[in-house]
Amino acid sequence: MFNEEHKLIQRMVPMLQRVLIVDPAPASARLLADLVRNISAGQIWNAPSNKRGLMAAEQVNPQLIFVELSGDNVDGIDFARRIRRGDFNCRQAPIIMVTATATAGAILGARDAGVHEFLRKPYTAKDLLRRLEAVTMRPRDWVEAVDYIGPDRRRFNSGDYKGKLKRRSDLKTTPDAARILQALKILRSALTAIESDPRQALRSMQAQVAELQRAAVAVSDIKLVTCVTDFQRYLNSATERGVLIPHEVSAQAAPLLAFLPADEPARKAPPRDAVAI
């Protein structure tokens, strides 16, 4: 058993070379840092506030982030949202929320902010190891939407999930078909957010194009590949111009959205005014 755990740690070590801890309490931050050092000899940075934590995230590009749920000058949910919606190189890094008050509301709030795992105090070294194993060895798909940015909240999308599927649609489609459907739904949603959040809408559309390209090639759908390529070319030109024209983007995306099932409800049409990105 010890040998298996040692092998697991050796596999995780390369992904734990730069760790950021955001915690206003020096004693608890030090305890967590010591436990992490027992697993990996990487570098660890401590930040006592959201502001210092965001500065550190920008400077050191952590591979893993621990953040306290709440405390003096620390709001873990707000911190996670800022990381996910910012331009940080580490915006997709795993975030583990740490707290002594793991209420249902706190867990849901953390999940919806893009947090990967929850670590409840008091915790043991084994508890910590299991969270580290989850974020390094069992990564979930990344969701780049407008309302939500973070790991797929449906845990069965992790590679070794063996539990029940959560949605009726999961029973009707292959994994690649499900990816195409989800990407098209997110793309459609992003179109309606161009005016309110053009930067994230563009980032979301670009992410869905990449996902659709992979899935279309996997299912050998030449028509879908062509539509995706055409829309990507348009997005590239819009990015170079620095302007998105909502109704123009919608028209360019129409051939892609035609791949949505007929029973998928239509969304509100985007406005016509151009917006800078």
Instruction: Tell me the fold of 2-137.
Output: Rossmann fold (3.40.50)
Say if residues 176 and 218 touch (Cβ distance below 8 Å): yes
Sequence-separated contacts (24+) of 229-237 with Cβ below 8 Å = 230/255, 231/255, 231/256, 232/206, 235/202, 235/205, 235/206, 235/209
Residues 68-95 have pLDDT tens digits of 999 999 999 999 999 999 999 999 999 9
pLDDT at 172: 56
Say if residues 81 and 114 touch (Cβ distance below 8 Å): yes
pLDDT at 265: 57
Residue 103 has pLDDT above 80, yes or no: yes
Q: Where are the alpha helices (DSSP H) in the chain?
A: 2-12, 26-39, 50-60, 76-85, 104-112, 125-137, 175-191, 198-218, 222-241, 246-257
Strand-pair partners of 119: 98
Q: Mean per-residue pLDDT for 218-233? A: 96
Q: Is the pTM of this model over 0.95?
A: no
For residue 223, what are its two tokens? 């028509």
pLDDT at 189: 96
Q: Provide the CB-side half-sphere exposure for 15 (13 A, CA).
A: 18
Q: How far apart are CA 89 and CA 57, in angstroms?
A: 8
Residue 223 has pLDDT above 60, yes or no: yes
Residue 250 has pLDDT above 50, yes or no: yes
Q: Which band of pLDDT confidence, cut at 50, 70 and 90, is reported for residue 275?
A: confident
pLDDT at 157: 44
Strand 43-47 vs strand 18-22: parallel, antiparallel, or unpaired?
Answer: parallel
Q: Which band of pLDDT confidence, cut at 50, 70 and 90, is reported for residue 171?
A: very low
Helix 246-257 vs helix 175-191: crossing angle, to nearest 10: 160
Residues 14-58 have pLDDT tens digits of 999 999 999 999 999 999 999 999 999 999 999 999 999 999 999
pLDDT at 154: 74
pLDDT at 136: 96
For residue 193, what are its two tokens? 């957010």
The SS3 of residue 121 is coil
Q: Mean per-residue pLDDT for 180-184? A: 95
pLDDT at 1: 47
Sequence-separated contacts (24+) of 192-200 with Cβ below 8 Å = 192/267, 192/268, 192/270, 193/146, 194/244, 194/246, 194/249, 194/270, 194/271, 194/275, 195/246, 195/270, 195/271, 195/273, 195/275, 197/146, 198/244, 198/275, 198/276, 198/277, 199/277, 200/85, 200/146, 200/149
pLDDT at 128: 97
Residue 213 has pLDDT above 50, yes or no: yes
Q: What is the mean pLDDT of the chain?
A: 90
Find all residues with CB under 8 Å of 182, minimum gap 6, and list them: none
Residue 205 has pLDDT above 80, yes or no: yes
pLDDT at 129: 95
Q: Which band of pLDDT confidence, cut at 50, 70 and 90, is reported for residue 158?
A: very low
Residue 161 has pLDDT above 70, yes or no: no
For residue 138, what are its two tokens? 């069992």
Q: Which band of pLDDT confidence, cut at 50, 70 and 90, is reported for residue 6?
A: confident
Strand order in the sheet with 64-68: 43-47, 18-22, 64-68, 95-99, 117-120
